[in-house]
Amino acid sequence: MEIWNVLDEFLPQLLLVLFALIMPALDYFFKDKRVLAFAALAPLVAYALALVSWTIGGYWEPAISEPRIGLLEVNLFSGVFALAFVAVGIIVVLSSPEFIKAERNQGEYYALLLLAITGMTVVALATDLIVLFVGLEVAGIASFALSGFSKREKRSAEAATKYFIVGGFSSALTLFAISLFYGVSGTTEIAAMGPQMDAMFADVDGTHSVAVLATVMLIAGLGFKIAAVPFHMWAPDVYEGAPTPVSGLLAAASKKMGFAALFKIFLLGLVVVKADWDVAIGIIAILTMTVGNLVAVVQTNIKRMLAYSSIAQAGYILMVLPIGTEYAVAGGLFHVLTHAFMKSGAFMVVAALAVRGVGESIDDFKGLGKRSPFLALAMTLFLFSLAGIPPLAGFASKFVLFSSAVDASIAPGGQSWLLWLAVAGVLNSALSLYYYARVVKRMYMEKGSDERIAIPKMTGVAILFALVMTILLGVYFDAVLELCQEAAGSLLQSVP
């Protein structure tokens, strides 16, 4: 029954857009704004269930073989990414009503959220550079507006402005890169770029330099999305200023969209010029994790600390590109999944505390272990997972990432310098434990106010969901890795 084949083609995105469009109307009709959140949850949960029953349950298969709109392709690779985006979407929507209670125009908020998720999933599905760019822009513009949603707060407005300016600049770079690629390859279809470029290199003089220029621009343009050094400067300011659930969305989902695009373009389209970019991206990866962790050490604001921590995490995932093996891509996908839960979970704990009037300074976390045992425990587990302590999810995915670097460096014919990526990753993980553990110390070892904190209900549910997933992904290491390996295979099988 093809009509039930809900993941086919564009149907889930249409559903998301439809709900986005009716949000302002719902806002007009319902006094209780929680209705909006539940309405926004509906398409997300439906999409998530469909994805889970396909990727994990294996109950049915979408029609992968013949994509009818030739520009989008449903496969396991896009499935895993979409799963991460939708899961973060659910967590963010769940914790929003309590956080933006006092704001006006909440209908637009949820509409923008749904549109942002739509854009991200389009990037995951795209097989063509133009469609991919449209997805990037949809998600980007929606998130510019979202980060400025708390209009009365100066910080929020400042964040949105900065995000918009830097984002616009980066979009221009990306678009420029795409047009140059079109120039040297004559196609915008990602999988066809490689062979076409090969053909061009033989015929036309100087094509290679143009390809390198385009690659550099693409690295800069997408480096902005994933906040890779030195294109990361906007991230801490924006994460700090944006409403906390939106910061969670940016760190846990929007950033992953950048990776979806990077994996596709570099491992599929630009693999023919890999020798040109692999060392450069390797260096960026090491720089990104090192700078992120070093600066995180000296932060005093928890949101800024989490921002730098996610810059560092992007460095870990960036390793995948120079390594390029199936196991590495599986590790990258695994880390995308785990990071989606642990990072959004950590942001939602901050959001829950903000709802109850607790500040964003790390010192405000003093004595949290006594004040709210659940939030403190959840935060501890999220942070330990980020640091990579077993048996939590972060350990499992980092383990796969680092071991893929080691494997690739000792494999026959492998590049020995890849080992340094693993070394840098391990040293950085050790360094990161320092600032994560510091927060845990504040929560449990230091005395703070004695006043108990009541957990906001919906945010609590979101945190619980993220927490359960953070533990499950670590415990069912094996099953998740298997899924990620299949997904990585589905990306790499189309490599010419």
Partner 1 sequence: MLEYAWLIPVFPFVAFLLISLLPKRTLSWEDGAGYAIGGAAGALILSALVIGDVLAGNTMVGDGPKFTWLVVADIEVTFGIWIDQLTAIMLVVVAIVGTLVVIYSGGYMHEEAERRRRYYAEIMLFISVMYGLVISDNYLQMFIFWELVGLCSYLLIGFWYEKPSAASAAKRAFIVTRVGDIMFMAGIIILFKYVGSLDFANLFGDEGVAAVPNDMMILATALIFGGAIGKSAQFPLHEWLPDAMEGPTTVSALIHAATMVKAGVYLTARSYPLLVQAPDTLLFVAVIGGVTALIAATVALVATDIKRVLAYSTISQLGYMTLALGAGGYLVVYADSAGGYSAALFHLMNHAFFKALLFLCAGSVIHAVGTNDMRMMGGLGKKMKITSLTMLVGAIAISGVPPFSGFWSKDEVLAAVYSAGEFNSLFLLLWIMGIATAFMTAFYMFRMWFMTFAGEPRSDYHAHESPKLMTVPLMILAALAMTSGFVLFIGDGFGAFSGDSISELFHGGHHESAADILSHIFGDPLTYVSLVLAVMGILLAYRMYYVPGFDRSVFARGLSGRLQKALENRWYISRFYDDFAVKVVYGFSLVADAFDRYVIDGIVNGFAFLGARSGNVIRRTQTGNVQRYTSLIVVGLCLLLIFMLYIVPWGGW
Q: Applying CB under 8 A, what is the total number of residues that bind partner 1?
A: 43
Cβ proximity of 258 and 132 under 8 Å? no
Give the type of residue at 291: V
Measured at the CA of 120, the angle between CA 240 and CA 277, to 5 degrees, comes to 85
- Which of 86/387 has CB closer to partner 1? 387
- Sign for the CA dihedral angle at 398, 400, 403, 408 comes to negative
Site for partner 1 in 389-448 (CB under 8 A): 415, 417, 431, 434
Asked whether position 17 contacts partner 1 by CB under 8 A, the answer is: no
Please give the DSSP secondary-structure letter assigned to residue 269.
I
Tell the smallest beta-carbon distance from residue 85 to partner 1 (Å): 26
Q: Please pick, from the candidates 127, 187, 215, 247, the single residue that binds partner 1 as defined by CB under 8 A.
A: 215
- Which of 17/472 has CB closer to partner 1? 472
Cα distances (angstroms) measured from residue 416 to each of 324, 327, 328, 476: 14, 17, 15, 32
Instruction: Annotate each residue in 221-260 with x if it binds partner 1 (CB under 8 A) or - if it does not, as one string.
Output: --xx----xxx-xx-xx-----------------------
- Which of 34/162 has CB closer to partner 1? 162
- Which of 231/266 has CB closer to partner 1? 231
Asked whether position 55 contacts partner 1 by CB under 8 A, the answer is: no
Q: Please pick, from the candidates 271, 296, 330, 368, the single residue that binds partner 1 as defined by CB under 8 A.
A: 296
Cβ proximity of 96 and 159 under 8 Å? no
- Which of 451/482 has CB closer to partner 1? 482
Distance CA 124, CA 129 (A): 12
Please provide the DSSP assignment of 345-405 as one string: HHHHHHHHHHHTT--SBGGGGTTHHHH-HHHHHHHHHHHHHHHT-TTSHHHHHHHHHHHHH
Give the type of residue at 53: S
Asked whether position 477 contacts partner 1 by CB under 8 A, the answer is: yes
Note the Cα 174 to chain centre separation in Å.
Answer: 18
Asked whether position 291 contacts partner 1 by CB under 8 A, the answer is: yes
Helix axes 11-29, 34-55, angle to 10 degrees: 170
Q: Please pick, from the candidates 38, 46, 130, 169, the single residue that binds partner 1 as defined by CB under 8 A.
A: 169
Q: Which residues bind partner 1 (CB under 8 A)?
A: 161-162, 165-166, 169-170, 173, 209, 212-213, 215-217, 219-220, 223-224, 229-231, 233-234, 236-237, 275-277, 279-280, 283, 291, 294-298, 415, 417, 431, 434, 475, 477-478
